[in-house]
Structure 1
Amino acid sequence: MKRISSIVAAATVAAGVFSAPLASADEGTPAPEGQQLSVISELTDTSAISDQNWVIPGNKANRPEVKKLQATSPAMDGREIPLAVIPSNKPDSPTIYLLNGAGSSEQNTDWLSNSNVVDFYKDKNVNVVIPQAGAFSFYTDWEQEPNSQYLQGKQKWETFLTKELPGAIEPYLKASDKRAIAGMSMSATSSLLLAQHNQGMYNAVGSYAGCAATSYPLEYEFLRLTVNRGGAQPEQMWGPQGSPNNVYNDALVNAENLRGSALYISSATGLASATDMPSYYTNQGMPPAVASAQAAILQGEGGVIEAAANHCTHNLKSKLDSKGIPATYNFRNAGTHSWPGWREDLEKSWPVFKEALGVED
């Protein structure tokens, strides 16, 4: 029950940007002149991560193919950010930055714990970098410093992910200058945001069941649902609803700034699919009562969240269509806000990423 609750809860909504001169993705620079970069080192196993699946000996999420690293964030006072890295077997390979959802690895709702991400990417000739921290942060730069269990001190995730980390991790991996970013639920919004705020940096962007709009009254309250789970308020993150910084972080308003990147965008309807039924879990050996309870959570909470994400995503499609900005869409007829859909997105977004990144077999 706890696992399914966290799966359903692993997300919600948000995104944004102002217009800026358009650049091609290959012109993006991860290290502006004078920018202080991260320092990359081997992961230090601390009490903060010792109960996370990806570092627990014997856990299926703790894979030997994954390099366990950490990177400092100068903007966050030198905080060490754990990184799970699936390295390419070839030098000069592009890099995919894959973001976790709301609970991230802090709640074991990360890609390593809930998908076949390692087996899928390990032979694709790309480097995959997964920040294993940032729960409930929207991977954005906050106006204020929260003080809760998950959100403490400076939250400068956009600065870390776009200014500090790439210029350090890409040379470490002997990577090329091509890159993509993708995320699910909360971080689907983040992926749109980071691409919009840093035009030309990402050749491809994946948004799996997120919500681009964040500055409208209802959508701002969607933000609150997620950020509240981290013990903070959206006002601490972007200021009041409708404020300039909130509008800057609205990817629907600023959809024009996605032009130039290959886009993969998905959502489901929220209607129950085969993976939301009790039989799906009883077939895996769960007792019928437990399977029924888990299915009820997915069909109830997960259905409502995904229906909201579906509404948001169709609005984004309409905006992009009106501007003549192409994208690849995956609108599923059924499915809740849960991992089976995001595992599908991992695979179905690959052809978009492969072409945009120039990956050869």
Structure 2
Amino acid sequence: MSRLLSGVGAAHVLTGRRRGLGRAALAALLVMVTPAAAAASDLGATVSSSAPAAAPAATIGDDVIGDLTSSHGLTVSEVDRVDERLVRLTVASQELARPVRLTLLLPQGYTATTRRYPTLYLLHGTSGGADDWVQQGEAEDITAGFPMIVVMPDGGYDSNGGGWWTDWVDQDTALGVANWETFHIEQLVPWVDAHLRTRARRSQRAIAGLSQGGFGAMSYASRHPDLFVSAASFSGAPDIAKAPQARTLGAAVVGAIMTGLNGVQPHAPFGDPVLDAVNWQGHNPADLVGNLRRMDLRLWVGDGTNGPYEDTADPRYASPDPIEAIVHESTLLFAEAADAAGVPYVLDDYGPGRHRWPYWARDLAQYLPRLAEVFRQDRSVPERIDYRSIDRRYSTWGWRVRTRREPPQAFSGLVRASREGFVFLAGPAVVRTPPSYRPLTTYRLRVQGERTRARSDARGRLRVAVSGGRSVVRVQGRLPG
């Protein structure tokens, strides 16, 4: 039976539901990600076909979808307009070692109007690729009635184990350069907004994914909450580093995929789970759950037992699915972290169900009506924001932070940041505000109880230096003259 749980306050229910994950499940996972077994596993996706041959232009008859040319760090080498809605591209980037695939689903009637549309970034799972949601997940049919652009990028090379949606700590593996987050967030998102008729603002952009892509969707959303209004995980792993169980599971799963499917050292994406623990935490949705406070959050997961899409006479389904059991544990741990932080979410812990495409297609079909409603709301930017990061330099919601500290990775963050001021945790740092003030005007400030002043720049931004620990900054008003 499906149980739809809304946080906050569901943690005690979820805890009662949890089943412990034993060594047998982890052992089964390790077997499934060896090269010999990879093709038969349900690790998140089936192997996609190779990139299609290029078409002369992105047209069918007299219909032209746009100028899908190189820009924003992406070099477009192939464009294949398959039908009215489906477009396949091959793109290259200096952030990646080789060209990768990009699949687009356009809304019905896209070429017949000048209308602009919201965008859903839809991520694949382990051993998958850009075409998986179309070939395996019925995405073209499921999205047909929804006025949105769907963007499905590769998250790994040649349908290998996947890049875990991060810039790798180890860039010297046999796979070469692997800056997946930079490619997706800093290059692909602006490229899409520049070349397709999107509504290029946060309230009109969402991200979702299955399995490893479920982790990726929640990780990107938690690290870039100013880009996405909604995030969804379908049998994902949104906690790989916060809870003790999650750390064990995360290290085992990531390590098995790296060695068994990618042929690289087990800690290539995030570093050593102990020595580089802060890097794991800084990309882990459960550790960054406070960043998701003003986002529409949806999670679906089964318990690994046979559900409505399994033939119990099939010997492949004689035992519970260890991978769905693992992501079930991870999802419930994320829900507990969200409850503890007071962050709302909706979790469909639907019980019987394995790590298979029929469930993810069903999840997507259930998600889209809610997402369409969120897009219609066109939510405004929050007046106050909270944000934490491990990065030495970061920007979010128009705020920019440059820390001055050692080591290079450590948590810092903004609390209740608004036009009236902010609290900064774990300085020293220089904080630049959004353009919220009168340009070239001097303002009175109180920093840690001491009176001072700062002059806004030509765009109306203030620059404030803060010391270590907890710094309270209040903007008290502008000075005359």
TM range (shorter): 0.7 to 0.9
Say whether the 8 Å CA contact 1:268–1:306 is kept in structure 2: yes
Please point out which of 138, 159, 162 is paired with 1:116: 138
Tell me, in whole angstroms, the C-alpha distance in 1 between the residues paired with 2:123 and 2:305: 26
Say whether the 8 Å CA contact 2:93–2:99 is kept in structure 1: yes
Other structure's SS at 2:267 match: helix
Matched, 1:312 2:330: yes
Tell me, in whole angstroms, the C-alpha distance in 2 between the residues paired with 1:7 and 1:254: 31
The AA in structure 2 aligned to 1:38 is: G
1:221-300 pair list within 5 angstroms = 221-228=252-259, 229-242=261-274, 243=276, 244-278=278-312, 292-296=314-318, 299-300=319-320
Matched, 1:93 2:114: no
The AA in structure 2 aligned to 1:9 is: L
1:326-345 pair list within 5 angstroms = 326-345=344-363
Matched, 1:174 2:197: yes
The AA in structure 2 aligned to 1:120 is: I
Q: Which residue in the other structure is 1:71 paired with? A: 91
Give the 3 Å change call, closer, same or farther, for CA 260–112 of structure 1 in structure 2: same
Larger Rg: 2
Task: Point out the structure with the larger strand share.
Answer: 2
Deviates more, 1:192-201 or 1:65-74: 65-74
Matched, 1:190 2:216: yes
Other structure's SS at 1:232 match: coil
Matched, 1:137 2:163: yes
Residue correspondences, number = 298
Other structure's SS at 2:101 match: strand
Give the 3 Å change call, closer, same or farther, for CA 42–76 of structure 1 in structure 2: closer
Matched, 1:203 2:203: no
Tell me, in whole angstroms, the C-alpha distance in 2 between the residues paired with 1:105 and 1:337: 17
Cα offset, 1:128, TM superposition: 0.4
Give the 3 Å change call, closer, same or farther, for CA 359–96 of structure 1 in structure 2: farther
Give the 3 Å change call, closer, same or farther, for CA 340–138 of structure 1 in structure 2: same
The AA in structure 2 aligned to 1:123 is: G
Tell me, in whole angstroms, the C-alpha distance in 2 between the residues paired with 1:4 and 1:201: 34
Q: Which residue in the other structure is 1:283 paired with? A: none
Q: Which has the higher contact order (CA 8 A, sep 6+)?
A: 1
Tell me, in whole angstroms, the C-alpha distance in 2 between the residues paired with 1:44 and 1:6: 31
The AA in structure 2 aligned to 1:94 is: P
Cα offset, 1:139, TM superposition: 1.9
Give the 3 Å change call, closer, same or farther, for CA 175–211 of structure 1 in structure 2: same
Cα offset, 1:278, TM superposition: 4.4
Q: Which residue in the other structure is 1:25 paired with? A: none
Cα offset, 1:232, TM superposition: 2.3
Tell me, in whole angstroms, the C-alpha distance in 1 between the residues paired with 2:254 and 2:96: 23
Tell me, in whole angstroms, the C-alpha distance in 2 between the residues paired with 1:70 and 1:249: 27
Cα offset, 1:224, TM superposition: 1.4
Give the 3 Å change call, closer, same or farther, for CA 333–133 of structure 1 in structure 2: closer
Other structure's SS at 2:372 match: helix
Other structure's SS at 1:8 match: coil
Give the 3 Å change call, closer, same or farther, for CA 5–126 of structure 1 in structure 2: same
Task: Point out the structure with the larger helix share.
Answer: 1
Tell me, in whole angstroms, the C-alpha distance in 2 between the residues paired with 1:44 and 1:63: 12
Q: Which residue in the other structure is 2:251 paired with? A: 220
Give the 3 Å change call, closer, same or farther, for CA 218–278 of structure 1 in structure 2: closer
Tell me, in whole angstroms, the C-alpha distance in 1 between the residues paired with 2:104 and 2:251: 33
Give the 3 Å change call, closer, same or farther, for CA 39–165 of structure 1 in structure 2: same
Say whether the 8 Å CA contact 1:95–1:170 is kept in structure 2: no
Say whether the 8 Å CA contact 2:74–2:91 is kept in structure 1: yes
Other structure's SS at 1:222 match: helix
Say whether the 8 Å CA contact 1:220–1:241 is kept in structure 2: yes
Tell me, in whole angstroms, the C-alpha distance in 1 between the residues paired with 2:192 and 2:322: 38
- Structure 1 residues 106-145: Cα deviation after superposition (integer angstroms, max 9, x where no partner): 8x7x212212101111331100011145142112110112
- Structure 1 residues 50-72: Cα deviation after superposition (integer angstroms, max 9, x where no partner): xxxxx9xxxxxx76631112333
Q: Which residue in the other structure is 2:474 paired with? A: none
Cα offset, 1:43, TM superposition: 2.2
Unaligned runs of 5+ in 1: 12-35, 46-54, 56-61, 280-291
Deviates more, 1:260-269 or 1:224-233: 224-233
TM-score (normalizing by structure 1) = 0.75
Please point out which of 187, 190, 204 is paired with 1:164: 187
Unaligned runs of 5+ in 2: 1-35, 46-70, 242-246, 379-481
Cα offset, 1:42, TM superposition: 6.0
Cα offset, 1:312, TM superposition: 1.2
Q: CA RMSD in A?
A: 2.7
Say whether the 8 Å CA contact 2:75–2:93 is kept in structure 1: no
- Structure 1 residues 195-244: Cα deviation after superposition (integer angstroms, max 9, x where no partner): 11112110110111112222323321122122222222342111110322
Say whether the 8 Å CA contact 1:262–1:352 is kept in structure 2: no
Cα offset, 1:97, TM superposition: 0.7
TM-score (normalizing by structure 2) = 0.57
Tell me, in whole angstroms, the C-alpha distance in 1 between the residues paired with 2:154 and 2:43: 17
Cα offset, 1:294, TM superposition: 3.4
